[in-house]
Structure formats: structure tokens, C-alpha cells
A and B are shown apart, each in its own frame.
Chain A
Amino acid sequence: MNERTALQNAKRKTVSYAKWGYIFILPFFVVYLCFTLIPQFLTIYNSFFENYRDGLTQIGPNFVGLENYKALFTADSAGTVRILKYLANTMIMWFVGALPQFVIAMLLAIFFTSYRLNIKGQGFFKTVIYMPNLIMAAAFSMLFFTLFSRVGPIQMLLTKWGWIDASFDFFSHRVTVRGMIALMNFLMWFGNTTIVLMAGIMGIDQALFESATLDGANATQVFFRVTLPLLMPIFVYCLITALIGGIQMFDVPQVLTKGNGAPDELSRTLVMYLNGYLTTKNYGMAGAISVIIFIITGVLGGFVYRMLTAQYRDPGRQHRQRKGDVL
């Protein structure tokens, strides 16, 4: 009797709870499989077919091999390969917005987490800087469209002050249109980045900062020698997610330029191009663009990851290098 209870107890002790872990994450994987992974393969599959609608008549799907890709990389009458042009547009607009986004988010994150500054009313500021992210991108874009339109308040004010000519049109200049898009992306996302970076910084052991200060390190040294290296995983995460979001930029420029990507399609992004093909449900061409966006995202993401984490990935090498320096 006693023996059996002991055995039972022993058994109970070795019961694995790990399976519950799998059960709890199962829904995610099922959803991921159905709504992301399978569609992803279908997209690749579709990109090899001619498949669109002419009015209400379905054309195809007819297997065409790599024709869709060939069409994408064929130059038009002026010698422009459009997909490369749109890729450049996308990356320029993303970069112009992301640069201030990260600089300012980093500064704010450091201010807010500094035990020496000890800023009051943090909750308030954090809420306020996050707010632009709560507005729907399309609504935000519509707001800018109205503000900067030919008959909008900004045009009127600047004309009144004599800064611009009355005939100036914010939507017919490359710099202003791209600038507006970058500004919107910056405004919408810097709060989000600030909060993630703050979380990252707060995860660092305070004792490290204190001991660095005691050892006589100034604020700059603390930032570059302590904060930044320890924050790197979070920073890379932020940068890669921002990059992926940037490559998929769509609603802001779409609404701002009414889908035209004016002027001269210089604010047209890759996904706007993709969307253009969906007017006639052209799944072949749209699929090919999607695959290319996927490859670009993968390559750029991998590149950023490798570049930024190179010196942290192999501690041994770092150690050896240090030794070499000393010797």
C-alpha cells in the first residue's frame, strides 16, 4: 500500500507540464499555418500563372513560368525598370522617416529612464508620444492631405507670410511629397519605438550604470559602452520590424496621393504597385511582386541583423581581439 503511494507520488513528480506549453501555443501555430504560411506558398505558386479578370470574365490561370518576373524587370519605353524605381522610393521615404525616429526615440528613452534626471509625469509624456500611433494611418494621411492642399490652411499661411508663391503645390514636388510621407511615418512610430527601447533599457541591471559612473565614466561613455551594447538585441529587433514595416509602406502614400504616387510616381511604393495590379485581380503579377518584396525583406533583414550583431554574436572573438589589443 505504502509502496504504491510512493510510486504514484514519484510518477506524479515526473509528470511533464511541457505539453501544456505546446497546447497553449498551438492556436498561434494553427492560425499562422492557415493564414500566413499556406497563403505564402500559394502566392509563390500563383506568381507563375497568368491569372486576372477582364471585367467579370476570369482569364487563366495559365502557367507561364517566369514570364511575370520577366515583365516586372523589363524596362519601359523610357528605360526605367519600374519595380526598382518603386523600391528606391520606398527605401528613401522609409530612411528619411526612420532616421529621426530612432535618434529621437533613443534620446527620449534615455531621458525617461535616467535615474539622475528622474523626469516627472512620465506616464503623461509616454501616453502623448504614443498617441499618433493610435490614429488610423489613412485618417492621418487624409489630415495631412487637407492641411497641405492647395486650398488648405498651411498653403494659406505660408503664402500670407510670403514664404512660398501662391501657385506652389505641395503635391507636385518630390521633396515635399516624400517629406510629408516620411514625417507622418516618423510621427506615427517614434512613440512606439521609444517605449520599446525604454523597456529594453529598464531591463539592464541598474548596478552596471552605477558602477560605470563610480568608475568615472561620463554620460556619453555610459551610453556607448554600457547602454548601447546591452540594448543591441532590442535595438536590432526595433530596426528590423521598422524596416519590414517600411518596405510594406502603403496606406499613408496611397491616401495622400490618391493612389497616384505623384509626382511622376516618385512617391509610389512597392505595395502601391502591387495594389495597382489587384484592380483586375491580377494574382499572377501581384504574386510576383509579393515574392520579390519577400526576398528583399529577407535579404535586408538578414543584412541588418548580421551587421549590427556581428561583434556580439561571437564573444570569444571579441575576447581574443581585446587580448590582441593589449598585447
Chain B
Amino acid sequence: MKKMIAILLAAIMLLGVVGCAAKPAAPAAAEQGKVFNIYAWNEEFKGFFEKYYTVPEGVTVNWIINPSDNGVYQQKLDEALLNQANASADEKIDMFLAEADYIGKYVDSDYTMDVTSFGFKNADTQYEYTIKAASDKNGVCKGVSFQCCPAAVIYRKSIAMDVLGTDEPEEVQAAIDSWEKFNAVAAQAKEKGYYMTASFAETFRAFSNNCTKPWVDENNNLQFDDQITAWIDQTDEFIQNGYTLTAGVWDTEKTNQMFADGKTMCFFGPAWYYNFCMTNAQDPDNGCVGDWRIVEGPQPYFWGGTWLLAATGSDNTEMLKDIFETFTVNEDVCSKLVENENQYPNNTAVVEKYANDPSYGNTSILDGQNDIAVFANLAQNIKWENHTNYDQLLNEGLQNKLQEYYNGSVDKETAMKNFYNYVKETYANINVPEA
């Protein structure tokens, strides 16, 4: 028995040695792994992947999905990446998804690999900011985004008609094309018994993605950009006057406002918002499909976006290249993303096709308005700057702590103190004022 075990162990060791020796000898293209592991924080991309990408025969795709809240996804992903070198080929991460708020953390590390190393070439049709976001300090690109996320104001036609006397996009836009005007319309809406927005944090991204300085300066001091302060001021006013609700952006209380009997005029979001946040509006019984239109709103901005990053150590490089191409340069797939999934693709050729096509209109949520044309205009303004690796938890933390102030359980000073404590606790290396 002992002998058998010894022989077995020896055989396994030998195999290991042979395996190690064989790898550098054979070119990467020759041997491809049989298991493709993808880390993600929700099912959104999984849906598109399963519909529009044909997995090569013999390859199993594993999805490892952890929720994004409280940084859980990043924690699990970090754990796996740090263990990447020791993991067996079938357990190594091949590709992982990252959001705008923390993509830099992964792009600027050795855990992601240069896309050109497996022969992928960024096309001219990709939006430049999506490439910049996925590139490290030296400009080496580590992944692609399958979407572009210019964000707009999505408004209820019927409510706009009641409040402004018009539901035409041009006129609505003229009425809310600056924050002063937007706030004034909020007062009008209130008079008619409506809410301007359904969450105290609804407009957060419109401000925060226009910041002129990052959350943390070069000496690691926490700093508040004027845009963030402006958001807080606006929200103070909105809550005080009852223009909005104390619900968070993802709360049920907010999304319930999208039913036909909702009382909210404006929502802020990019194309992914339709499917991700507006399912209530698409409810067959209580929804209100066709009662929506979009306009550029007071301030152009973008929100989120999902990048696909190539993990160093992947043994499925051919498949990586294939996936990246499918969701960026493949016009057929990108067109389907627009037509079937209400997405705004990362492909300017496809975008132009739909933006200039008078017969195209979004009917699954909107009233047949050509939303791609509106988004295309907004997309020209997107700049990728002033981001830090800490953005997700700082944005989330600020909203959580201020929410307690807005629902009346603490005063503003305490809310800010709690936020500083939270920052100190979450990021030991960030210097926080007086906490």
C-alpha cells in the first residue's frame, strides 16, 4: 500500500515537472485551457455573454459572482488574484469585470495583462475614454469595455406635461439645462404634487463625475471637490423642500416610483439603467412603457461602465481575444446589443448607424425616441480623469452616512464625522481632516 502511494506521489511530481518544463517550450497559442473563469459582481454581462458569444467546444465557463456592496466583490477578487500564481491552470482567473470606480487599482497592477500580448488590437471605433480607463500609467491597455456610459435625464412624459406644459425633449431640455433651472422646475413639480427625483443620491453621479480634483490628493489627504459640495448643497435643499425622497439609489422605495402610479418626474442614468433599474417601468401590469423620454439634462456626465480585464496567467488567451473582439469590434453583436438589449455599445460605427437612422427608436421603454442620438451627443463629452482606486467605497460611504442625515436620524456634523471615521477605518493610508 505504502509503495503504491509512493509511486503515485512520484508520478504526480514527475507530471508536474514535465508540465512545468513543457510550458515555456510550447508557444502560448498551442495550448489553451479547458476552463474559463470569470469574476463578476452581477449577472448583467453574463446574460449578454451567454446570448452573443459562442464558447469554443470543450471549454467550460465558470462564473464567480460576488455582490459589489461594501467592497465584497473587490475583496474576493483580490484574494483570488493574489493567489493567482499558485492556483492550478483550471482555477486561475482568466477574465474579470471591473467598474469605473476602481478599475485603476487593477489596471495599474501586474495582475492584468497587456491586450496586445495575445493579439488584440483596440479599434478606432472604441470610445477613447474606455481605452484610457483600461490603460495603466504607461498607456498599456489591459482590457476593454463592452459599453459606453454617457448618462442622461430620463423623464416621465405625462408628468413633464403636467409640470411644464410640454413633453417635447427640446423644450424640456431648455427648461432644465442648468442646475438653477433644474432646481426651479423641482419647485414647480412639488407644487403639482410630484417629486423631482426619487432618491437623495439620484443626481450624485452627475456631479461626482465632473469633479476637477480626485478624492485624494498626492499626499493622500481626503479632499472634497466643489462638485461634491454642490451636490450636498442641492440635496440639502431638495430634502428640506420635499423635492426628493430619502431612499438610496438602489432602494425599492425609489424603484417603486417607476410604476405607472409613481410621482417622480426625473431619473438620472445611462443606457444600462433601462434594464438594470427600470424593470418596474417595464412591468406589464403596473408599468408605463412609452411614457418616457430622455434629454441631456443640466450637466453631461457618465455613470459606471463594465470593463472586461485580462488576468495575468490566463491560459485561455485565444478566447480572451475572441471575447474582446465580439463585444467591441463585432458590429453584428454590437447592433444586437442596441436592438435587443437597449445597450449603448462601445462602437462608434454602430452608434452612428443608429443615431442617423430615422427609423430607429427605442420602444421597449421610451416612446420610440432615438435615444442613441442623444447618448451619442453626450458621449463626446466624456473625459477620464480625477479617478482614484478608492472611489467606490468613498462614494458609497458618503451617500450612506449622509442618508442618515437626510432621513433625520443624525445632524449633518455627526453624519460627516461618521463619514470621516468610515474613511479612516476603510483606508488606513488616507489622511482625514480632524477625525
Contacts and interface: CB of A to CB of B under 8 A. Distances in A.
B181 interface: no
A18 B407 CA distance: 66
Given A151-B256, A260-B400, A279-B71, A78 B414 contact: yes
B303 interface: no
B127 to A, nearest CB: 25
Contact of A53 (B78, B393, B422): B78
A54 B409 contact: no
Interface in A76-127: 76-78, 82
Interface in A151-182: 151, 169, 172-174
Interface stretch (A226-234, A238-246, A261-269, A296-304): A261-269
Given A56-B111, A151-B252, A279-B75, A77 B409 contact: no
Nearest to A59: B429
Interface in B78-129: 78, 81-82, 105-106, 108-109, 111
Given A77-B434, A259-B70, A173 B400 contact: no
A285 interface: yes
A36 interface: no
Given A77-B420, A77-B434, A172-B409, A150 B427 contact: no
Q: Is the interface of A mostly helix, strand, loop or mixed?
A: loop
A264 B70 contact: no
Contact of A258 (B69, B393, B407, B428): B69
B372 to A, nearest CB: 33
Contacts of A77: 417, 420, 434-435
B404 interface: yes
A44 B179 CA distance: 54
A190 interface: no
Contacts of A56: 78, 81-82, 105-106, 109, 111
A178 B421 CA distance: 22
A280 interface: yes
Contacts of A174: 409
B414 A264 contact: yes
B421 A82 contact: yes
A216 interface: no
B425 A277 contact: yes
Contacts of A151: 252-253, 256
B362 interface: no
A52 interface: yes
B389 interface: yes
A95 to B, nearest CB: 22
A264 B404 contact: yes
A50 B428 CA distance: 10
B262 to A, nearest CB: 12
Contacts of A54: 427, 429
Interface residues on chain B, size class: 35 or more
Interface string A166-207: 000100111000000000000000000000000000000000
B33 to A, nearest CB: 23
Interface in B164-185: none
Contacts of A258: 69-70, 400
B277 interface: no
A282 B430 CA distance: 13
Contact of B247 (A150, A262, A280): A150
A245 to B, nearest CB: 23
Interface in B394-421: 400-401, 404, 407-410, 413-414, 417-418, 420-421
Contact of B70 (A50, A59, A273, A279): A279
A263 B410 contact: yes
A67 to B, nearest CB: 11
A280 B421 CA distance: 15
A265 B400 CA distance: 11
Interface string B211-229: 0000000000000000000
A153 to B, nearest CB: 12
A234 B400 CA distance: 44
B253 A150 contact: yes
A133 interface: no
B109 to A, nearest CB: 5
A265 B246 contact: no
Nearest to B397: A260
Contact of A280 (B81, B109, B251, B428): B428
Contact of B109 (A50, A55, A173, A260): A55
Contacts of B418: 264-265
B421 A76 contact: yes
Contact of B409 (A52, A82, A173): A173
Interface of B: 69-71, 75, 78, 81-82, 105-106, 108-109, 111, 246-247, 251-253, 256, 389, 393, 400-401, 404, 407-410, 413-414, 417-418, 420-422, 425-429, 434-435
What 4 A-B pairs are tightest by C-beta distance, nearest first? A263-B409, A172-B409, A55-B105, A172-B407
Interface of A: 50, 52-56, 59, 76-78, 82, 149-151, 169, 172-174, 258-260, 262-265, 273, 276-280, 282, 285
14 contacts: A55-B105, A55-B108, A56-B82, A56-B105, A59-B429, A77-B420, A77-B434, A151-B253, A260-B401, A260-B404, A262-B409, A279-B393, A279-B426, A285-B425
Given A77-B434, A151-B252, 17 more contacts: A54-B427, A56-B78, A56-B81, A56-B82, A56-B106, A56-B109, A76-B420, A76-B435, A82-B421, A150-B253, A173-B409, A260-B404, A262-B404, A263-B409, A264-B414, A264-B418, A273-B425
